[in-house]
A and B are shown apart, each in its own frame.
Chain A
Amino acid sequence: MNKPKIQDADAVPAPQLFPTAAYAPGRAYDEMFAADGGVRPHYAALHDRMATLTSAELAERQRMLEQLFLLQGITFTVYGADAATERIIPTDLFPRIIPAKEWAQIEAGLTQRLTALNLFLADVYGDQKILMDGVVPRELVLGAPSYRREMRGLFVPHKAYVNVCGSDLIRGEDGRFAVLEDNLRVPSGVSYMLANRDASKRTFPATFKAAGVRPVERYPDLLLATLKSLAADWRPSPQVVVLTPGVYNSAYYEHAYLARLMGAPLVEGRDLVVHDNMVYMRTTTGLRRVDVIYRRVDDDFIDPLTFRRDSGLGAAGLFNAYRAGNVVIANAPGAGVADDKAVYAYVPDIIRYYLAEEPILPNVETYLCREPAQLDHVLANLDKLVVKAVGESGGYGMLIGVHASAAEREAFAERLRAAPDNYIAQPTVQLSTAPCLTGGRIEPRHVDLRPFILCGEHTVVTPGALTRVALRRGSLVVNSSQGGGSKDTWVLHDDGGEPPP
């Protein structure tokens, strides 16, 4: 192999980059280091590679990576005082690696969970047996803001209400994965998964090849096949479109990306016309029938005649066309009721009820404040818990007990007592940490995991995921709106490191 060249007189010796002491994982589970300080076997190759790179080389690779994202326009828009600026989502150089055995469990768990949730949706919009049997409280489901009574008794192809799901998984201190949230409405991030993969193939080509990483590149065509399967029974070659709120939406890049890779038109509400309960798009050669709409617009906005009247993002009459069975909307309107924060607490029971199986992936322990006994517990332990409002998302209406002052906790306790139905509480989970490059140093940062599951005629879990990173040291918040970043996720073919023959 190449021997090092003769060094310049003034060349600085490469700084030792990876002294384990400097890395200092906290009490959280670390993805790379075991508790005894040893490197976990599936990380060994990457660890060795990292140790050979100087911080200047790392910085250069990081810069290349960011340049690549900027050039391709993989950006989200931030609206400031005078002008809108585009930023890239901060992307970390080092992949997060998941061994095959762990993945097999995640895959089985997610498939089981989504199967049960689809059965649950078919039931609550159908016969409501689960409510009759008292497994899930009736008022909890029917009173949820995301419950759409317009969906009662409608035909949904393959009973697949949720066609694209992006669950949030976390790994607790014991190293076990648990589901934190089921995102069943319009989950995003899949374009970052694909873009991160592109990037890490460039930054660590040899390590990537040697590791035997399962490919994620089939996602777009699997998505297209899933969407087509929803209309294939009555239309020989269904026309699929992606419905976007438009170029000002923060996830616009993703909408355009998926449309491009599926070869499906990217439409906005103003491109659609509903006539005689059929949906058409305006093309240069006239109107053309649309069969399946992969909508990236929230329920509330898809049809001003049925839902919010002030919406300009949907198409008037769309829901009636859906009701008439002339078009498929994916995900189905009303699917959000199954990822409601209070319903979440019942998902293990939902799995047992429909499938007669024990849940493979556990929930995070959740206290429902609507139950008096649990409310007492929550009030007594406010300083240790995270309390979330049921109807809110994105970190609003939330109390993180550990970080709150006594006065804040007292004020929140008042709100809890006033409307306990509105709140749930969970213990503060230390998310697992993974090595990240920050400020020229490699440090542990908390991460979560968002895999993507497709469900039409079949259910498919993409062997990969978006790993979201909390960029500030010690922070547990990974949302990109709150300054989170992302990194590539390698799911290995098998734990020996070699792909199967």
Chain B
Amino acid sequence: MMLARVADSLYWIGRYIERAEHISRLSNVMLTASLEQSEAAAEAAHMALAAVGDPDEHLAGRTPFEAVRAMVFDRDDLGSVVSSLARGRENARQVRDQITTETWERLNMLYLRIIDPQAEAEFDRGQSAFLHDVVADLHLFKGAADATMSHGEGWRFLLLGVYLERAQLIGRLLDVCFGEAAGGKPLQDHLAQMSLLRMACALEPYLRAYTADLQPRFILEFLLFDEDFPHSVRFAAAQIETHLLRLGRHAEAAAHAGPERLAGRLNARLAFADPKELTASGAGPLLRTVSDECARIHQGVYETFVAYPLEQRLPA
């Protein structure tokens, strides 16, 4: 049992920190790639910018360095790292009684660090080190949550937010590289392929699974369908299903057309998909399904747990 408002906040903490982590990683990879004198540099920048939803708007004209600076520090941009952290922390402050002190401290410390007036100067001195630390701190946050919070309802809402956000973010990144937006142009450049894997935090696990033989087909397969890799869409979908099944156990019968059914369907679709089909028709349709289903699950979570109509729940 927990307050509906609290569950909502925990869910959003999960979403915001996952978003902050993803954007930080993307920015870091993009900056590193931009050091190369090749096509790949531009391609990595295009990938990153398109994946944050800004293909040809205000960031496009800037140098990679300036673009990344804005992606990290621009408070007016709701998708920036600082905005995500500020909102995640604001939500955490509202449910301060529900998360452990250890967990709260990680997030609060990171937030205080990034809004510090010295933060931009520190960033300018070493962008890569700065972004690396942000990602590492967010890992610590997740680790502290895992190690110190009860793995009950609150924790599940937090992770539900993390994995739903992750499924959408990885889905969007793949869509930029393999979907309709890519125009069927395969990702040929070796460096660009490496960048993509790095952006999905997947380079080392991929190498172990497929060796250093980089193939666009394998990369897509790995990031979509791998069962064990935590940043694959399928893994995220399986986690969403697990958490929703456990959460739904207590919700009242009225809700049973609810989000766990949608999550189960999405998970099955990814688990039993035929990779060959993907080669034939392109990844576009499947990626669009992922995105649509995630939006529907989000809606379902709200209707079941947070913003349910009172009339159905009043005691007779």
Contact = CB atoms under 8 A, between A and B. Distances in A.
A268 B315 CA distance: 21
B151 interface: no
A307 to B, nearest CB: 23
A283 B3 contact: yes
Interface string B93-126: 1111110010011001100100000000000000
B310 to A, nearest CB: 6
Given A247-B90, A268-B5, A284 B306 contact: yes
Given A71-B109, A247-B90, A284-B251, A259 B97 contact: yes
B85 interface: no
Contact of A72 (B94, B101, B305): B101
Contacts of A288: 1
A271 B1 CA distance: 14
A101 interface: no
Contacts of B105: 71-72
Contacts of A265: 2-3, 6, 97
Given A283-B4, A285-B252, A247 B313 contact: no
Contacts, number: 80
Contacts of B306: 284
B306 to A, nearest CB: 7
Interface in B244-263: 247, 250-252
Contact of A282 (B5, B90, B94, B157): B5
B7 interface: yes
Contacts of A257: 96-97
A270 B8 CA distance: 14
Most buried by B among A273, A278, A284: A284
Given A270-B5, A273-B310, A260 B252 contact: no
Contact of B96 (A73, A267, A281, A282): A73
B104 A73 contact: yes
B77 to A, nearest CB: 16
Contacts of B250: 284-285
A500 interface: no
Contacts of B96: 73, 253, 256-257, 260, 266
B40 to A, nearest CB: 40
A284 B314 contact: no
Most chain B beta-carbon contacts within 10 A, residue among A265, A275, A282, A287 = A282
A282 B313 CA distance: 9
A282 B97 contact: no
Main secondary structure of the interface of B (DSSP, over half): helix
B148 to A, nearest CB: 13
Contacts of B310: 273, 282, 287
A259 B3 CA distance: 13
Contact of B93 (A247, A260, A278, A284): A247
A501 interface: no
A256 B94 CA distance: 8
A34 interface: no
A252 B308 CA distance: 27
A270 B3 CA distance: 11
Interface in A446-492: none
Q: How big is chain B's contact interface, by range?
A: 20 to 34
Given A275-B314, A284-B305, A285-B251, A73 B93 contact: yes
Contacts of A285: 1, 250-252
Given A72-B101, A247-B90, A286 B109 contact: no
Nearest to B306: A284
Given A72-B105, A259-B97, A286 B252 contact: yes
A329 B306 CA distance: 26
A246 B109 CA distance: 22
B227 interface: no
Contact of A271 (B5, B90, B97, B305): B5
A282 B4 contact: yes
A247 B3 contact: no
Contacts of A278: 315
A241 to B, nearest CB: 9
A29 B278 CA distance: 84
A275 B1 contact: no
Interface in A276-332: 276, 278, 281-288
A283 B96 CA distance: 17
A287 B308 CA distance: 11
A256 B99 CA distance: 11
A102 B308 CA distance: 57
Interface string B294-315: 0000000000011010100111
Contacts of B180: none
A406 interface: no
B153 interface: yes
Contacts of A281: 3
Nearest to A265: B3
Contacts of B5: 268, 270-271, 282
Nearest to A268: B5
A44 interface: no
B1 A284 contact: yes
A260 B97 contact: yes
Closest 7 CB pairs of A and B: A260-B97, A256-B96, A259-B97, A284-B305, A285-B250, A286-B313, A282-B4
23 contacts: A70-B112, A71-B105, A71-B108, A72-B104, A72-B105, A73-B108, A246-B94, A257-B96, A257-B97, A265-B2, A266-B96, A275-B314, A281-B3, A283-B3, A284-B305, A284-B306, A285-B1, A285-B252, A286-B308, A286-B313, A287-B310, A287-B315, A288-B1
Given A282-B3, A287-B313, 10 more contacts: A71-B105, A266-B96, A276-B315, A278-B315, A283-B4, A284-B7, A284-B247, A285-B251, A286-B313, A288-B1
